[in-house]
Amino acid sequence: MKKKIINDVLLNILALAISTVILQLIIYPTISANVSISSFGTILTIMGGVNVISVVLGGSLNNAQLVNQKIYKEEKYFYGDFKFMAKIYFFIFLVMYVVAMLFPLINLNLLGKIQLLILILLTSLRAYLPVFWRIKLNYKLIMWHSVFTATGYIIGSLVFSHTKDNWLITFLVGEIFSFLFLLKNTQFLSYKVTKSQNFKKINRDFLNLLSSNIVANILTYFDRFLLQALLGPTEVSIYFAASIFGKLSSMVLQPISGVFLSYLSRENSDKKKKYYLYFLLASIGFGVMLFCISLIFSPIFVNILYKNLYVEAKQYMTLANLSTIILITGSLLQPVLLRFSNLVWQNIIQLVYAASFIILGYLLMKSYGMMGFVIASLVSNSIRFILFVIVGYFSIWRNEDD
């Protein structure tokens, strides 16, 4: 069992490493080299919005289905109920998107808005459908899916480099490759839509995860949104370059978190103390190690990948990477809370995190510009990590699930 867990962790790390490396080391640098610094900042902000929506919608469906697999006795109702729920919420999003596009929120023509809609839908499906493999603990398919998607991204970036007139094509080609792989290697289309007696329960769990993920993922890209609104797209580009190594470190920590949740969904709660202590020590250990590595390699990465941003980004690198690593290491504890604690705690922690980030960010940016934002990010991410530890202690270590 331990060997399989280690093997699955490594496969999941490899899967995320492939997509992360391709995006951060090839795709975004390619786009940056072919557009202005200001335009690149705007593109980063738009893609931040795409990622928020896809993880909130598709990722919440994925995790809700994963943690509810034991309440179903028949597989057809398990998959049928979630297929029904997916159709409902994808349709709701479609209506909301059409209404939102009636307002001048982003500078895209009609064709660009249609392409952006397709991109969001495909990215949301990429976040949701791998649950079929996570339930079966088939991390080989997850890895090959990542390879297939990354191949599409590379082809898309080559097309963009040649034409230089539509950056969306880079991501669209990648997501189309992903979608084709998902259709071929999951049974999503084969299951009929159902609505069993468990539907209310799974819908409630989905909405709890949705509300928690809305805050969590907006705050993941909050640097882009807030900097775009208050300081402009150029600062978005600079901060992105400054924190690039911290973002790359997510390819190590995020898949570990995903594998742990997959295995925890199968375990009984009598081992909760052991799991909590293990995850806490692992998250701190990985965080310290990655921060030490970032001190050496972050300047090298930025100077190679974003040479035109290196001088402006250099002064923010240490604190920006530390903040990002604390955010990611805190997320390593989330699978334990998802499995053993009341989901309401997710919302409470994210709301406190959001409030501290917004208030500190606004106040410090007014006085100290982007350095103020970096400090606000570091403080709020530290608060979030401490709250995860406290909730874990009371709800898991002391067997007081709220």
Residue 208 tokens read as 């709890």
**Phi, psi values for residue 155, rounded to 5°:** -60, -45
Angstrom distance (rounded) from CA 178 to CA 126: 7
Residue 344 to residues 7, 163, 210, 266, 278: CA-CA distances in angstroms?
33, 48, 11, 21, 23
CA proximity to 219, closest of 42, 391, 377: 377
| CB-CB neighbours of 88 under 10 Å | 12
- Return the CA Rg of the chain: 21
pLDDT digits (tens), the chain, 402 positions: 567 767 777 787 788 778 878 988 899 999 988 888 888 999 999 999 999 999 889 988 888 888 787 777 666 767 788 888 889 999 999 998 888 887 776 778 888 889 999 999 999 999 998 888 888 888 889 899 999 999 999 999 999 988 877 899 999 999 999 999 999 998 877 778 888 888 888 888 888 888 877 877 887 787 788 888 888 899 999 999 998 888 777 666 666 666 666 665 555 556 666 766 777 787 788 888 889 998 998 899 888 888 888 888 999 999 999 998 898 888 777 766 666 667 677 778 878 888 898 899 889 988 888 899 999 999 999 998 898 888 877 776 655 444
Please tell me the predicted confidence (pLDDT) of residue 400.
Answer: 45
Please tell me the predicted confidence (pLDDT) of residue 208.
Answer: 83
Please tell me the predicted confidence (pLDDT) of residue 170.
Answer: 94
